């Protein structure tokens, strides 16, 4: 069997150990000859990488492991780039969340003004990774799950339309696991789903089992009563109180349109008043993540380094992330697996902007993806999506053109922002906070 060489971009990410261990766990179907970590923060990456190096030596000495901040070294001789960078790190995520809240507006990593601000930082970072990949390994594919995926996907489509990059999100994976659990199936892979929307902004409209039986009635019954709460999925990622609330709140999101099953992220657009009321402007999700996930990962890694061994360390593979291996396998082995990807619409949602980057099921193989047509969508979803896609496109245009007005328009148009004046106040604070990360706006 062919063995693959991978670079993990964002080697210092809190998700890197879980993904690296998951890759080892899945090596029976996706064999690896080389894993490299790449990051532009040498110190941060070093802690994660040294611990992983010890783990690899002990558990997979046959895999060549290395880490670097040098793009040439990182991107030479690779088959896949697995990209999960966070430009500005948690320090900037905290500002994305807290600045809007100062004005009584939803403060969220990928939704509303926070997502727009994060997008303005991410575009340059991702384009840089694509260019390194194409310079040093022109046949490689980039599997990107860096956020905000909707804006990143729109930007790469605009700026690098021919590049081999696939954008994917894990939220539907987790929700599908929960839905499978609701109907007594072992895995989401025992279901056939139809889904349409934008990233973090979509709906399931058909769900069948492998015999073709309609699972929607039973799933709807559960969601109408409990949202996604009370259903189990494998991930240990979405478990804290704020996530539990999000899964429960899906009940109210569902009530607005009981013909479809909503993505959890619609909570921010349908119930921004509720979200703001339940937010603490002094302590947001970024603080929660820094105090829990980040602290914990770095503590475990430092202990492994001090002891010189990973034996007995609470270092776990992130099984939930195996969808990334599904995607890599689809390309490497032409498996033609059906997966939700973020791709140019191009007629798949018949009555929607053909240039929009939509999240829909695709068949993935060694030559890329084929879209599965979702047909016409209802006026409610279409109206919401048109507004949101305009926000995303205006953000990317603002980045490309350095346009203050387009970014102000993007923020004004965001469903969670009440007025152009509030949009302007948030924008002006964001410009100040993002100095050195955003292009200069005129
Ligand atoms: P993190 O801050 O712990 O890690 C991100 C790393 O990226 C940092 O080490 C940072 O130094 C590095 N980085 C930043 N800019 C870079 C650049 N230009 N080049 C190279 N490296 C750079 O963040 P995290 O919480 O672990 O999340 C990582 C990313 O994964 C985020 O974008 C997050 O939103 C995303 N994510 C996406 C999904 C999904 O479903 N799509 C799921 C989970 C996380
Ligand atoms: C889900 C989303 C990701 C997002 C993550 C945030 O998995 O699909 O796009 O990055 O949640 O999780 P966090 O624990 O960092 O708040
Ligand atoms: Mn996501």
pLDDT at 48: 98
**Which range is least confidently modeled, 46-55, 150-159, 317-326?**
317-326
- 119 and 148 Cβ atoms separated by less than 8 Å: yes
Please give the mean pLDDT across all residues of the chain: 97
Write the residue with the smallest CA distance to atom 21 of ligand 1: 39
State the burial class of residue 48 (Cβ atoms within 10 Å of its Cβ: 0-12, 13-18, 19+).
buried
- Please say if the pLDDT value at position 236 is more than 80: no
In sign, the C-alpha dihedral spanning 52, 53, 56, 62 is positive
SS3 111: coil
CA distance 82 to 26: 15
Query: To which H or E segment does residue 215 belong?
Result: none
pLDDT at 235: 73
Q: Is 42 near ligand 1, meaning CB less than 6 Å away?
A: no
CA distance 125 to 254: 36
pLDDT in tens, 256-274: 999 999 999 999 999 999 9
Q: Is 126 near ligand 1, meaning CB less than 6 Å away?
A: no
Mean pLDDT of the 348-368 span: 98
SS3 168: coil
Which residue of 18, 108, 109 sits with most ligand 2 atoms within 8 Å of its CB, as the best mutation to test the pocket?
109
**DSSP bridge partners of 4:** 32
pLDDT in tens, 78-135: 999 999 999 999 999 999 999 999 999 999 999 999 999 999 999 999 999 999 999 9
- The residue with tokens 């990593």 is 109
Cis peptide, bond prior to residue 92, ω within 30 of zero: no
Which residue of 83, 85, 92 sits with most ligand 1 atoms within 8 Å of its CB, as the best mutation to test the pocket?
85
Write the residue with the smallest CA distance to atom 15 of ligand 2: 289
Mapping DSSP onto H, E and C, the string for 35-80 reads EEEECCCHHHHHHHHHHHHHHHHHHCCCCEEEEECCHHHHHCCCCE
- Please say if the pLDDT value at position 155 is more than 80: yes
Model-level ipTM above the cut of 0.90:
yes
Contacts of 76 (CB under 8 A, 6+ apart): 136, 137
Write the residue with the smallest CA distance to atom 5 of ligand 2: 171
- Please say if the pLDDT value at position 320 is more than 90: no
pTM of the model: 0.98
Is residue 265 among the annotated active site residues?
yes
Token pair, residue 79, equals 């088959």
SS3 249: helix
Rg value, the chain, Cα: 21
Nearest C-alpha neighbor of 171 from the set 266, 81, 309: 266
Which residue of 84, 115, 240 sits with most ligand 1 atoms within 8 Å of its CB, as the best mutation to test the pocket?
84
**DSSP bridge partners of 195:** 204
Please provide the DSSP assignment of 361-410 as one string. EEEEETTEEEEPP-B---HHHHHHHHHHHHHHHHHHHHHHHT-HHHHHHH
- Catalytic residue (one of 39, 79, 96, 170): 170
Find the angle CA(385)-CA(388)-CA(390) to the nearest 5 degrees. 110
CA distance 406 to 325: 38
CA distance 120 to 144: 17
Beta strands in 181-323 (DSSP E): 191-198, 201-209, 261-262
SS3 141: strand
pLDDT at 240: 87
Token pair, residue 93, equals 């995520």
258: DSSP letter? T
CA distance 124 to 152: 9
Residues in the chain: 442
CA distance 356 to 368: 18
Which-ligand-closest: CA of 296?
1
80-83 and 141-144 strand pairing: parallel
Centre of ligand 3 to C-alpha 133, Å, is 23
pLDDT at 75: 98
Alpha helices in 103-239 (DSSP H): 112-136, 149-159, 171-182, 216-226
pLDDT in tens, 181-225: 999 999 999 999 999 999 999 999 999 999 999 999 999 999 999
- Please say if the pLDDT value at position 234 is more than 80: no
Mean pLDDT of the 61-80 span: 98
pLDDT more than 70, % of the chain: 100
Write the residue with the smallest CA distance to atom 29 of ligand 1: 84
């Amino acid at each position: 069997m062919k063995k693959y060489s991978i670079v993990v971009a964002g080697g210092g990410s809190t998700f890197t150990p879980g993904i690296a261990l998951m890759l080892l766990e899945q090596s029976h179907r996706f064999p690896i000859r080389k894993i490299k970590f790449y990051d532009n923060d040498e110190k941060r990456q070093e802690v994660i990488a040294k611990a992983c190096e010890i783990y690899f030596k002990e558990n997979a000495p046959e895999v060549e492991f290395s880490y670097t901040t040098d793009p040439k070294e990182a991107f030479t001789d690779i088959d896949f780039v697995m990209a999960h960078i966070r430009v500005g790190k948690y320090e900037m995520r905290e500002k994305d969340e807290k600045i809007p809240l100062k004005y009584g507006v939803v403060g969220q990593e990928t939704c509303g003004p926070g997502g727009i601000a994060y997008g303005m930082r991410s575009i340059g970072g991702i384009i840089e990774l694509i260019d390194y990949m194409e310079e040093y390994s022109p046949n490689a594919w980039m599997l990107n799950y860096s956020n905000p995926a909707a804006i990143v996907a729109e930007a790469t489509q605009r700026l690098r339309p021919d590049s081999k990059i696939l954008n994917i999100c894990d939220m539907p994976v987790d929700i599908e696991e929960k839905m499978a659990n609701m109907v007594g199936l072992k895995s989401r892979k025992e279901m056939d789903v139809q889904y349409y929307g934008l990233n973090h902004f979509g709906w399931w409209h058909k769900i069948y089992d492998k015999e073709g039986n309609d699972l929607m009635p039973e799933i709807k019954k559960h969601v109408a009563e409990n949202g996604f709460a009370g259903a189990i999925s494998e991930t240990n990622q979405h478990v804290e109180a704020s996530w539990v609330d999000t899964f429960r709140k899906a009940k109210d999101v569902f009530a607005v349109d009981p013909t479809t099953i909503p993505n959890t992220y619609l909570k921010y657009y349908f119930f921004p008043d509720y979200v703001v009321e339940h937010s603490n402007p002094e302590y947001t999700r970024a603080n929660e993540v820094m105090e829990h996930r980040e602290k914990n990962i770095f503590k475990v890694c430092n202990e492994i380094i001090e002891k010189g061994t990973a034996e007995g360390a609470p270092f776990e593979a992130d099984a939930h992330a195996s969808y990334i291996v599904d995607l890599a396998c689809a390309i490497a082995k032409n498996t033609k697996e059906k997966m939700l990807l973020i791709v140019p619409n191009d007629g798949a949602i018949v009555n929607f902007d053909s240039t929009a980057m939509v999240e829909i099921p695709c068949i993935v193989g060694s030559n890329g993806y084929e879209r599965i047509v979702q047909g016409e969508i209802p006026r409610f979803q279409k109206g919401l999506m048109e507004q949101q896609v305009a926000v995303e496109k205006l953000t990317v245009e603002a980045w490309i053109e350095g346009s203050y007005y387009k970014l102000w328009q993007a923020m004004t148009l965001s469903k969670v922002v009440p007025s152009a004046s509030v949009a302007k106040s948030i924008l002006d604070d964001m410009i100040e906070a993002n100095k050195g990360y955003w292009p200069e706006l005129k």
